[in-house]
Structure 1
């Protein structure tokens, strides 16, 4: 421990933080150990409108966090690679969380096995999303009744509450493949209810999420699906029929990158109990300026007893990065805004979707170290 403290002090003196983010604390024949991270603090303004209730709600606050990244890597003489990463998060609210925490081994540019807590391949990249919310819920990892669900092929992507993760990936030249899994109680995907009925985790889920991606010159295309292999892993508390955890999703994503220009097009579809959800997204990033649009549809069956027909969510967002503040390469200020609207096209059986326009703006300060 004493040697470790001395090493950190010496490295801190020897390395300038205006250089590239992160510093190597140890770099020898046994591998590399480094410390890095980022600072991200936001000034936010939001305005939410509930037309049904005739309410307007304006909110101004400041949020943020500091992320510390501890990473290690070792290459063996026989060609194998071992890596680990841990990313504690210290929120400005005083709460300590965790982003990534994983260990992997394999052969560089070939195959890799990863275990722990992480995010698998992003099948719905949204570009420079300085401020992006939806009328209803963000829905990346939480389904909420009475809120629009913007499905993005992320229910099995990772960082679930009480779940473990295991992933195998392999690269064949321009072709990349992976099969990731989430194992454990996945009932925290939902709040307390699904279509108005209380749910419970009746067993451990096994969500499998294969991805295949191909890169040719400046163009990349990827396809994926995700499904829970365990029957009745999430059920209704009152004994009502229905396997809430039986959800199968599909996604396609395409990217074009040329110099300062990057374009993403994403499509996702989910077949769930008495509900089908689809999303279409398009975003463009050019010279620090980003703009995007996402259109989502939730289609409910009358058999749900909850809603009959569709709701639609339309969201537009934009942001701009002021880079290299004070001539510091890793310090940026972002200005971002979004506008979103939910409209009910169906017939309410028991639901209470809040129609209206939501909007917000954000000033973000971000520093990589």
Structure 2
């Protein structure tokens, strides 16, 4: 079910302007409103085999409901979005909930959202890494958004069709002793058939267990290759949250062609007092329409991963069957 944008009835606008005129008050421009509502159901059925444990089987999913509203007045706008999730385990959650205001040249965004993606994964229906977390993968997303607590602010500037700037921040995380707990500037260049984005992030806040302190950079290039979309990404992290600094270098490459997508990720974690863990994960997915019904699909996906210099889960293999219906 989808409501297309609607406009204030002409009669109401005329009556409003007439009342203003009769009252001797200067006329005020009427903002043009729009409201959009959509929803979708996603259901995943998984089978996972890790080398250090028995095979596991699970099913999960959610109903996602999206509300989007916007008012425009001349060159300026106010826009809001809310996304609610009803999950199969009985829990509820919020994905996006934000307010944005500004113009086509600049805007300010506040609430819960995701900043620009510095490590796009393409068709990532299922990706499960080996190593049980000791072989880390860094996707330049510590300050990207949808934080577990606190909030976010972001400033966007679009000086031209080819260049976009973003300054994303995290606000009030952890023990609330800091205002801005993360900062993430980035710049995007859009060329003929390709896009290049680079960014830096800094995170620092305290919680009950530790002091989070890390710096990272990420760069990604997306381009078309025939009918395919290709992404190449690299990211570097210096994590000083532990007594000794941990460095992570991650690289990703993926391709999407119609309903098919595949990718590979390689990451190395540099430790000062132990052998350096590394992990390589390959994944693929293919989506088909379900009975040729509009907005209904089934996706077959899998990933395989191997890690070295780790204590457990040296290999992890996963399969996922996903049904999706948008209405």
> What is the CA-CA distance between 1:245 and the residue it aligns to?
2.1
Per-residue deviation, residues 154-184 of structure 1 (Å, max 9, x unmatched)? 1000001112100001112211110000012
- The answer to whether residue 324 in structure 2 is matched with residue 366 in structure 1 is yes
1:219-298 aligned at under 5 Å gives the runs 219-228=194-203, 230=204, 233-234=205-206, 244-257=211-224, 260-273=227-240, 274-298=245-269
> What is the CA-CA distance between 1:236 and the residue it aligns to?
8.4
> What is the CA-CA distance between 1:117 and the residue it aligns to?
0.1
* Contact kept in structure 2, 1:27 and 1:33, CA below 8 Å: no
* Normalised TM-score (structure 2): 0.86
Match of 2:297 among 329, 332, 340: 332
Per-residue deviation, residues 29-84 of structure 1 (Å, max 9, x unmatched)? 6401121122100111111112xxxxx321111110000001101111x3101100
- The answer to whether residue 308 in structure 2 is matched with residue 320 in structure 1 is no
Unaligned runs of 5+ in 2: 9-30
The match for 1:112 is 107
| Secondary structure, counterpart of 1:57 in structure 2 | coil
* Contact kept in structure 2, 1:343 and 1:355, CA below 8 Å: no
* Normalised TM-score (structure 1): 0.77
1:302-313 aligned at under 5 Å gives the runs 302=273, 308-313=274-279
> What is the CA-CA distance between 1:235 and the residue it aligns to?
7.3
The match for 1:72 is 69
Deviates more, 1:257-266 or 1:246-255: 257-266
1:158-173 aligned at under 5 Å gives the runs 158-171=145-158, 172-173=160-161
Root mean square deviation of aligned Cα: 1.9
The match for 1:203 is 177
| Secondary structure, counterpart of 1:128 in structure 2 | coil
- The answer to whether residue 40 in structure 2 is matched with residue 82 in structure 1 is no
* Contact kept in structure 1, 2:131 and 2:306, CA below 8 Å: no
Distance change >3 Å, CA 236–CA 164, structure 1 → 2: closer
1:171-186 aligned at under 5 Å gives the runs 171=158, 172-186=160-174
Q: How far, CA to CA, are the matches of 1:136 and 1:99 in structure 2?
A: 28
Q: How many residues align?
A: 299
Distance change >3 Å, CA 300–CA 45, structure 1 → 2: same
